[in-house]
Chain A
Amino acid sequence: MITQKFEYTAPKSLDEALHLLASGAKPLAGGMSLIPMMKLRLAAPEHLVDLRALKDLNYIREAGGQLHIGATASHYEVESSALLRQKCPLLTETAAAIGDVQVRNMGTIGGSVAHADPAADYPAALQALEAKFVLKGAKSERTVSAAEFFVDTFTTALEPGEILREVIVPIDDARTGTSYQKMAQPASGFAIVGVAARVRVNAGKVSFVRIGVTGLSNRAYRATAAEKALEGKTPSPADIQAAAALVAQGVDANSDLHASSDYRRHLAVVHTVRALKTALSRIA
């Protein structure tokens, strides 16, 4: 459990960090995934740039009717943010479900999202929230949607030399309810399956629904078929069940020591029902 030799820089500015990244250094945030991989010598970066040294990447604030979360906000900071609890409770609920206390104190939203572990918790919520991701390179900055950001297992829209600077999520009105439901893998705490639901009801009918799923396949995704099935419905338990049944449609489900693909598909349906019901029950 001893890493290979590497250089470490605590940059003084974002520009310095981007300059180093452009010349081949790798970004380090909370280190919750990268450091264990380095200790097992499955990863051997020669140079790490510690983004947590950049205090101006650590913020949670409201601006322009949206919520802006800096990349190095820890899971604990998200979980305990009064602003998020009030205006985006789905994110605080999801952060609270990550790993354990130690991981939540060290891990960051930017690190988790950029690592794109297919069983990470945040991506389900960020898919359901249709979050935006601000990606900054040495020369330019661009914003991509969650749909574009999560590409594949451990693969995102980030280009070499770019960092994830900020995550932007919307502020929903009081007619919207949300919930994140997961079954945790008991060793790692990662989601065997996690489902985030975001539902708006207008005049007794579902006027808007977003469902984000993690753990089931190669990347977190939005279950659009299930969403469509529920939109415009009353929603009765039968409607919810029928919609949830579509959550894993067309998905190539993972199978490993902790859960077979059949079980994961089943869990995705169960947790979709639970997430939808809980979300509906939370509408003010």
Chain B
Amino acid sequence: MATTTVKTETFVGKRIRRREDPRLITGTATYVEDIQMPGMHYAVIVRSPHAAARIRSINTKQAEAAPGVVSIFTGKDTKGVGAVPCGVVMPDLRVPQHTILATDRVYFVGHPVAVVVARDRYLARDAADLIEVDYEALPAVADPEKALAKGAPAVHPQWPDNVAFTYHQDGGNVDKAFAEADVVVKQRITSQRLVPMAMETRGVVAEWRGADRQLNLYTSTQIPHLVRTLVAGMLGLEENRMRVIAPEVGGGFGSKLNVYAEEALMGYVSMKIQKPVKWIESRRENFTCTIHGRGHVDYYEVAAKRDGTILGIKLKLIQDVGAYHQLLTPLIPQLSVLMMPGIYNTQNIRADIVGVFTNCVPTDAYRGAGRPEATHGIERMVDLLAAELKMDPAEIRFKNFVTKDNFPYATATGLTYDSGDYAAPLKKALDLVGYVKLRQEQADARKQGKYMGIGISTYGEICAIGPSPATPAGGWESATVKIEPSGKVTIMTGTCPHGQGEETTFAQIAADELGVGLDDILVIRGDTAVVQYGIGTFGSRATAVGGTALYYALQDLKAKVKKFGAMLLESEDVSLVGGQVIDNKSGKSKSFQEIAGAAYRALKLPPNTEPGLMATRFWEPPNFTFPFGAHIVVTDIDGETGQIKIRRYVAVDDCGNILNPLIVDGQVHGGVAQGLGQALWEQAVYDDNGQLITGELMDYAVPRAHLMPWIESHHTCTPSPVNPLGVKGVGEAGTIGCSPAVVNSVVDALSPLGVRHIDMPLTPEKIWKILAAKN
């Protein structure tokens, strides 16, 4: 019989290797693509090559006759399926009907038009080439500012101005702040479209079991429960007849925090053909059909006093929406507005968002989701202000930080920052990088005509998303903990970790609370038939919200364990220590597995106590958490080629208490890699006809290992009072802190030439052109 190891050592706070890694690095994990079923069919989707076109006709005859083809469906067939949902409700929101297959028009390159189902995926792919779609190409618009101009092609004919929504927010008295200002700095700042580029593309297996009236949907998602609710609704299926399983998910970065047409489409196909069907997204489809991130054009104005005190901030934010709203599209720029003051003490803000339809794939959440854009904006503006006032960029930040005796701090945008000591990470980063000495070195380098830059970014962000009233779908999280009769522990989390390491960190939390070993614990997630309803993994929330639900479930369970222990020990004064219940008077103890056995055998029960050991908690967070930090980047620029070399990357992040420093390091490194991607290399470029010209990995430069600098990762620790773990979240911090530090560094290097701002990505040619023009 299995026994439970009693451990007195603790795990929280230690560099424990991820328990999920062996299966990942040995290629033995089960992704959607790995699922095989008897009678499996394969779907290939025919997609629009045009950014805008009318569909005159679709001829499927030849394809229907092709070998192996079972069925072909077009938009006519799927008219009864509900629209792809937008989860955001706001006044003035224009929501175009987003059918799962195009009907009379296509709105972006990659728009699904038909689906071919065959016995074999090669035959399905061959048959897809035989479908003849007669398109009447229409004028397209791919640039949000061009889409707003008079006379631009209308993406949706019913809204000729291409405005998808507007949003206004005012805080304090901006007009007064600007009237009283000694100085106002202004800048247009873009945050280019990016492709989230999960290593595993999307994929769906749908298995309709007609006799059971049950649809099993395996999908690579961050939010299996929400997919179940929404896709069941689209298909007109009772929610309890649908089971969604997120098997191993090979990265999401927000791109799988969504409900996609293909998820409902595969459910529809399986129900029609009465067979399981598989669709695996190609990399090309991933480029053109999975949501993109960012896509901002921001017009900033910052008002300040001569001494550097920031008085107010104005922002006109143009959000490139794409052709449709996906699940959270209109929410993302609102997160930017919430974050627009950064960690600076200013109570006067004004923001105007205009969301713009373009003939491009929709934008939505991508790592940071609105916060990287906001941080990039404010951190660039603070540097511009420092340059204008001839102040040191560190000094101007210290001057404007919300000070640590001011928490909780109510922002002008309606948030309450939970805890913070913003000067601490900046001081630490300045020390680590040797700031004073570096500035001296820079002065000497400039005398020799060299371009060396020092860039600072001090960011704050919104994590642990979030309190339910602030979210479209509920912001709580759930956890169930079971102690099995043998004493083994099973955790079922409503979050859906897909690389964040909660199979390890949640086991650490439970192991410490219960006093058992990590190997005694199994963490289950991602199956709606097994796990109680949950919200999912996104917005740096899984540990701060889901981990807290787990923590409280563990407290309930411990109380019950103690009751059984007290009964067995015939004592009223017991404590749970090191996996044993101890009689505080006699010192006698009962082991964990003895108690578990007794709770299930139930020969005798404590008063008012049911058999079994299981606890479930749904935890509603009272607030977001607000991590912060300081990143400093030292760059050297090749004056001949414009190439940027990152000499030092110092990251000091404060994410509250750290459960596993190894996992936090990984999150910071990955986040910084994606931040560097935006700062230096990545851009989803549509041409004027709406063709994605960076639609392959040969042209779209994702960060590679050999391009990475050494990341010096350090921390300060300001626990969050929002949850009992004191954790804040760290999944997005690296990305949020990174890009402004890089751009500030390069602008600093080129500032002797009068350079004030450069938009991302900082390609060598862009830098060379600046050098060539100024020298």
Contact = CB atoms under 8 A, between A and B. Distances in A.
B504 to A, nearest CB: 29
A36 B697 CA distance: 11
Nearest to A259: B765
A263 interface: yes
A188 B696 CA distance: 10
B641 interface: yes
Nearest to B681: A186
B700 A187 contact: yes
Contacts of A270: 640-641
A173 interface: no
Interface string A214-229: 0000000000000000
Contacts of A283: none
Contacts of A1: 282-284
A2 interface: yes
A142 interface: no
A90 B680 CA distance: 30
B765 A263 contact: yes
A183 interface: yes
A258 B765 CA distance: 8
A267 B641 contact: yes
A5 interface: yes
Contacts of B765: 259-260, 263
Contacts of A263: 765, 768-769
Contact of A100 (B702, B704, B764): B704
Interface residues of A, number: 21
Given A100-B706, A257-B693, A260-B765, A5 B701 contact: no
A187 B195 CA distance: 13
Interface size class of B (residues with CB under 8 A): 20 to 34
A185 B764 CA distance: 10
Contacts of A186: 680-681, 701, 704, 707
B125 interface: yes
A46 to B, nearest CB: 14
A257 B283 contact: no
A266 B769 CA distance: 11
A236 interface: no
A40 interface: yes
A4 interface: yes
A11 to B, nearest CB: 24
B665 interface: no
B699 interface: yes
Most buried by A among B680, B696, B702, B765: B765
A186 B762 CA distance: 12
Nearest to A266: B768
Interface string A76-105: 000000000000000000000000100000
Contact of B122 (A2, A40, A187, A260): A2
Given A2-B122, A100-B704, A186-B707, A257 B768 contact: no
A90 to B, nearest CB: 22
A187 B693 contact: no
Contacts of B764: 183
A213 to B, nearest CB: 16
B282 A187 contact: no
Nearest to A101: B706
Given A187-B698, A187-B700, A5 B122 contact: yes
Contacts of B129: 41
A183 B707 contact: no
Contacts of A5: 122, 126
B697 A187 contact: yes
Interface string B538-551: 00000000000000
A188 to B, nearest CB: 4
Most buried by B among A1, A100, A183: A1
Interface string B283-309: 110000000000000000000000000
B697 to A, nearest CB: 6
A188 B699 contact: yes
B643 A257 contact: no
B32 to A, nearest CB: 16
Most buried by A among B283, B641, B685, B772: B641
B121 interface: yes
Interface string A248-270: 00000000011110010011001
B284 A40 contact: yes
A187 B643 contact: no
A36 B284 CA distance: 11
A36 B643 CA distance: 29
B772 to A, nearest CB: 8
Nearest to B761: A186
B701 A187 contact: yes
Contacts of A187: 681, 694, 697-702
B698 A257 contact: no
A259 B765 CA distance: 7
B698 A188 contact: yes
A1 B126 CA distance: 11
B45 to A, nearest CB: 12
Nearest to B285: A1
Most buried by B among A185, A260, A267: A267
Interface in B640-661: 640-641, 643
Contacts of A258: 699
Most buried by A among B122, B284, B768, B772: B768
Nearest to B122: A2
A2 B685 contact: no
A31 B44 CA distance: 25
A3 to B, nearest CB: 8
A50 to B, nearest CB: 20
A2 B121 contact: yes
Interface in B679-736: 680-681, 685, 693-694, 696-702, 704, 706-707
A77 B701 CA distance: 27
A4 B768 CA distance: 43
Interface string B624-649: 00000000000000001101000000
Interface in B749-775: 764-765, 768-769, 772
B699 A4 contact: no
A273 B682 CA distance: 30
Interface in B115-133: 121-122, 125-126, 129
B693 to A, nearest CB: 6
Interface string A164-197: 0000000000000000000101111000000000
Interface in A1-20: 1-2, 4-5
A4 B129 CA distance: 10
Nearest to A186: B701
B14 to A, nearest CB: 33
A39 to B, nearest CB: 8
Contact of B125 (A2, A36, A183): A2
B573 to A, nearest CB: 64
Contacts of A40: 284, 696
Contacts of A188: 697-699
A183 B694 contact: no
A260 B643 CA distance: 15
Nearest to A183: B641
A258 B764 CA distance: 10
Interface string A30-53: 000000100011000000000000
Contacts of A267: 641
Interface in B371-386: none
19 contacts: A1-B282, A4-B126, A5-B122, A36-B698, A183-B641, A186-B681, A186-B701, A186-B704, A186-B707, A187-B694, A187-B699, A187-B701, A187-B702, A188-B697, A188-B699, A258-B699, A267-B641, A270-B640, A270-B641
Given A186-B704, A257-B694, A266-B772, 15 more contacts: A2-B44, A5-B126, A41-B129, A100-B704, A183-B641, A183-B643, A186-B681, A186-B701, A187-B697, A188-B697, A257-B685, A263-B765, A263-B769, A266-B768, A270-B641
Q: Which 10 A-B pairs have the closest CB atoms?
A: A187-B701, A186-B701, A2-B125, A1-B282, A188-B698, A263-B765, A270-B640, A186-B681, A187-B699, A259-B765
